Amino acid sequence: MAAVGQGPLAFVQGAGELAVFVGRTFAWMPRRPFRWAQLFRHLRDIGFGSLFIVVLTGFFTGLVFGFQTLQGFRRFGAEALVGPATLLTLSRELGPVLTGLMVAGRSGSGMATELGTMRVTEQIDALSTLAVEPMQYLVVPRVLAATLMMPLLTAIFTGFGFYGCYLIGVGREGIDPGVFFFETWQAADPDDFYEGWIKGAFFGAQISLISSWQGFRASGGARGVGEAATRAVVLSSVSILVGTYLLAELLDPLIHGYIWFDALPK
């Protein structure tokens, strides 16, 4: 927010800096040695670190979305369609976006804090003097881990969300479970899930790159590290909300395009 708040010049400057950082990350990515131990550490940190909160928010999102959708659908007597409606929204939009926001808050701030502390205590400089490239050792494994982990967390979010919706629809509203699943089965399309997972992967990359960048440019002690963490979360969140629209526009014709072709007159 601070980068956005300080006017257009600071924004352009920040965007340029971030672009350079992203470029350097990808330049170091294919170089050897590959940091397997680091990758597994971050896969575990991001995965387990965010698992509980993703399950919890997924479940309640499904509950409330199912609840409100029912209020609407009841007006058309379409209660049984709550399953597919919820699943579509969860898998395509709410799943990746809310999971992304949770991971930004949990792991993004963690990355910015850890790397920011390493920066201000000169640990990143110490790595350089030991002829270990910090981008390669610290940033590349975080970006890969977040990019790989986000689709999985998105799927978990969607799964628990759908379970919440099932509890509302079948448990509370009394929809016949057979009907509930039949309607969902009828309308569900694997492409909806692909869209969510692809978005998740993008958001994972965005969060980890922005947060690492903020950590690396931290300065000035504990306070600077705190500011970096705040900025990491805010900028990651904004980038997710902007990104999800852009990705929807981009992915829709790519993934769901065939629906349009199928609809063409033969």
Residues of the shown chain interacting with other proteins in the complex, contacts defined by CB under 8 A: 24, 114, 117-118, 121-123, 125-133, 135
> 239: which DSSP letter?
H
Could you tell me which of 232, 226, 10 has the C-alpha nearest to residue 120?
Answer: 226
Taking the complex as a whole, the smallest distance from the CB of residue 140 to other proteins amounts, in Å, to 13
Rounded to whole angstroms, the Cα distance separating 266 from 262 reads 9
Measured from the CB atom, the residue of 114 and 192 that comes closer to other proteins is 114
Q: How far is the CB of 94 from other proteins (least distance, A)?
A: 35
- Distance, in Å, from the CA atom of 196 to the CA atom of 222, rounded to the nearest integer, reads 37
Q: Which residue number, 6 or 121, has a Cβ lying nearer to other proteins?
A: 121
DSSP conformation letters of 168-193: IIIIIS---HHHHHHHHHHH--HHHH
CB-based contact 228:128 (threshold 8 Å): no
Q: How many residues are there in the chain? A: 266
H-helix segments, the chain: 2-5, 8-28, 36-74, 82-89, 95-103, 109-120, 123-129, 134, 140-166, 177-187, 190-216, 221-255, 257-263
CB of 235 to other proteins, least distance (A): 24
Between 61 and 109, whose beta carbon lies closer to other proteins? 109
Q: What single letter denotes the amino acid at residue 246?
A: L
Per DSSP, 91 falls in state: I
Minimum separation from the CB atom of position 4 to other proteins (A): 23
In angstroms, give the least distance from the CB of 22 to other proteins.
15
Shortest distance, CB of residue 263 to other proteins, whole angstroms?
Answer: 52
Nearer to other proteins, 117 or 236 (CB): 117
Please, which residue, 45 or 195, has the CB nearer to other proteins?
45
Going from the C-alpha of 195 to that of each of 91, 101, 151, 201, 251, the distances in angstroms are: 8, 17, 10, 10, 7
CB of 205 to other proteins, least distance (A): 22
Tokens of 73: 């659908």
Give the span between the Cα atoms of 195 and 54, in whole angstroms. 19
Q: Which is nearer to other proteins, 26 or 185 (CB)?
A: 26
CB closer to other proteins, 15 vs 132: 132
